[in-house]
Amino acid sequence: MRGGVANGGDGGRALGRWILALALLLAAPLHGQDAPVRLDRGRFVFLFFPRDQQLATSLAASALAIDTFPGLPRPRQRVVIAIAPDKRHFREWAGASAPEWGSASAFPDSRRVVIQGQRAGSDVGDPSAVLRHELAHMALHEYLGNQPSRWFDEGYASYAAGEWGREEVLMTNVALALRGMPTLDELEESFGGGETAAQSAYALAFRAVAELAQTDRAHGLTLFLGYWRSTGSFERAMREAYGMTVADFERRWRQRTRRQYGALALVSNVTMASLLLLFVLAPLYVARRKRDRRRLERMKEADEAAERVAQTAVDDLLR
């Protein structure tokens, strides 16, 4: 996620905490930690503790290997990337603007990224992809400043990081089929909800930027971002790059996304409901079959006993 003043974070307080934390990080080790390490690679400065050495080296290599972003010129600003040794320090360094479920935060105004180290759980995803997501925020901010709205900022970062897995969220979001797609304004507001609402917002924002990029297969986002930078207007950039208004794009994005994923979500949920019903009914069916089998066996035994009695009576009569 992107933090700081640009998206309503805690701004100056977060920057003050960051400067203090950075000073402490460089000046003295934390409790139970060895001395901190600084790694300079290209335009990146990594700050970490020895146990995250391998992670830092791997992240530096991946960041340098692909240091370009869709539709943007190659970034030139230096970026400080701090790898937090544990979740507590991540929370302290990222500040109050970072959600509880976040695994990394970018602060373009102060050119810094905070990311969790090797102690992060497996649910945070691939560290290289997480870092690329944050660096995409930085690159977009370097080119456009604070112009992008939250939905475009997050959607672009997800698109640049190749987070196609976010579409799986849409495949199971039955609300798309039942309640319909949000508007772009509603999407903007939904990032402030809890984790479930935010994950859906990330997925929809990713889909919106991907839809925009696919509108011009020859140039992708390049012309659009260039016009946006030169005119300072999202609407004018949309008209000049793609020949449509923002309202036209919004209508197209909503229709296509709901048509593509709304039905899938409904089918998926019906399938899950069917499986759940089968899971509940299967034991009852098995128990019923066993009960019927025992009843048949008892009836058979009763019939055989009655036949033996009748046969004995016949034999007695014939003697």
What pTM was estimated for this model as a whole?
A: 0.74
- 177 lies in some domain: yes
Predicted confidence at residue 148, as pLDDT, reads 97
Contact criterion met (CB below 8 Å) for 124 and 130: yes
Read off the DSSP letter of residue 50: G
Q: What is the DSSP string of 18-29?
A: HHHHHHHHHHSP
C-alpha to C-alpha distance for 300 and 273, rounded to whole angstroms:
40
- 218 lies in some domain: yes
Mean pLDDT of 227-248: 97
- 154 lies in some domain: no
Predicted confidence at residue 125, as pLDDT, reads 78
Do residue 141 and residue 265 come from a single domain? no
Q: 246-257 and 234-242 helices cross at what angle (nearest 10)?
A: 70
Predicted confidence at residue 198, as pLDDT, reads 83
Distance between terminal CA atoms of the chain?
100
Do residue 68 and residue 197 come from a single domain? no
Do residue 140 and residue 189 come from a single domain? no
Do residue 258 and residue 186 come from a single domain? yes
pLDDT exceeds cutoff 80 at 277:
no
C-alpha to C-alpha distance for 281 and 97, rounded to whole angstroms:
47
pLDDT exceeds cutoff 60 at 244:
yes
- 19 lies in some domain: yes
- 300 lies in some domain: no
- 47 lies in some domain: yes
Tens digits of per-residue pLDDT, 20-66?
556 555 554 555 557 889 999 999 999 999 999 999 999 999 999 99
- 113 lies in some domain: yes
Task: Indicate the pLDDT class of residue 78, thresholds 50, 70 and 90.
Answer: very high
Structural domain of 272: 162-293
Do residue 197 and residue 245 come from a single domain? yes
Tens digits of per-residue pLDDT, 153-191?
999 999 999 998 776 666 545 445 555 688 999 999 988
Q: Identify the helix (H) or strand (E) that includes residue 48.
A: strand 44-48
Percent of the chain with pLDDT over 70: 69
Burial class (CB in 10 A: 0-12, 13-18, 19+), 50: middle
- 228 lies in some domain: yes
The count of structural domains within the chain is: 2
Do residue 49 and residue 2 come from a single domain? yes
Do residue 174 and residue 286 come from a single domain? yes
Do residue 257 and residue 167 come from a single domain? yes
Residue ending a domain, choose from 111, 146, 181: 146
CATH number at residue 93: 3.40.30
Contact criterion met (CB below 8 Å) for 138 and 75: yes
Do residue 139 and residue 18 come from a single domain? yes
Do residue 139 and residue 168 come from a single domain? no
pLDDT exceeds cutoff 70 at 205:
yes
Do residue 137 and residue 219 come from a single domain? no
User: Which of 150, 164, 114 has its CA nearest to residue 134?
Assistant: 114
Distances (CA, A) of 164 to 104, 161, 204, 244: 19, 9, 11, 26
Predicted confidence at residue 295, as pLDDT, reads 73
pLDDT exceeds cutoff 80 at 135:
yes
Residue ending a domain, choose from 121, 146, 171: 146
Mean pLDDT of 270-290: 53
State the chain's mean pLDDT as an integer: 80
Burial class (CB in 10 A: 0-12, 13-18, 19+), 261: buried
Residue where the block lists tokens 């925009």: 212
C-alpha to C-alpha distance for 9 and 2, rounded to whole angstroms:
9
Do residue 170 and residue 141 come from a single domain? no
